[in-house]
Chains A and B, each alone.
Chain A
């Protein structure tokens, strides 16, 4: 299915949770925050929140340096 991921259209497998999407993208969940359709998904909901076709998804990295 097609979603907008970090500002770009992208095809991802159907039926993924947020955890599944991060795994598919090879992104470690502890390193990011995830926003879907302008709402931040709480970390403890990553396993139960499903990505829907057409979702606008932002994967935001923790950036700690100064």
Chain B
């Protein structure tokens, strides 16, 4: 792999001098890959900060198109991109922001049939999806192929984040065993969302991913971090593995088609 050029060194100088990152860390990040599932409110800060730190390959997965109602929070896109697939709009933004980063735009919806295949080849996955079906599916797929996952969710004035290292700590299903009944929990489309809230939570997800890739600090494994923007509090809830968890327990009963299974 080529050395960091002088131009690149200037871009990364604050990381170059940062204890725990430095030249080795930057090289490590440059040879790493992250899959961001959902290029929306959470995906936007994730994408920006991972590109800024120089992660070598970023997968941006989203099947939606940019809508004006997205722009109170989805800062990866802008008014000129209305109607364009978010994965493409996001790729354009990142290419301009940091041309060092290889961005792979994936215009797909994550489904049980393609989930494992889509995760393959990435070092860590960020759950930036906007619905429960996708959050549970992503958790199950990551557990099944032992892929690190940073789960997050936001609504109204709050959010939560937890890192899942399959085999080492609890998964999303250890907390929430199954999706809530349809319509029981209002999503941001109905309930609203303060735009800065996914900015906070997505930035935490990006921080977790960078720490994981560099082997730095303590990850949010076995800890659900709950953010309340109105009270301006972060509460850390200890979470244990559920031995009966349908995804990661001793006798899991969730099995998704593997990457080699034809769709």
Contact = CB atoms under 8 A, between A and B. Distances in A.
B142 interface: no
A39 B242 CA distance: 8
B41 interface: yes
Contacts of A31: 180, 184-185
Contacts of A62: 132, 153, 176, 180, 184-185
A31 B185 CA distance: 6
Contacts, number: 85
Q: Interface extent on A, as a size class?
A: 20 to 34
B169 to A, nearest CB: 13
A58 B239 CA distance: 10
B40 interface: yes
B224 A60 contact: yes
A31 B132 CA distance: 12
Contacts of B188: 65
Contacts of B135: 64
Given A31-B184, A42-B177, A63 B155 contact: yes
Given A40-B240, A64-B130, 13 more contacts: A7-B235, A31-B185, A35-B239, A39-B240, A40-B174, A40-B177, A61-B155, A62-B132, A62-B180, A64-B180, A64-B185, A65-B154, A66-B41
Interface of B: 38, 40-43, 127-132, 135, 152-155, 158-160, 174-177, 180-181, 184-185, 187-188, 191, 193, 198, 224, 226, 235, 237-240, 242
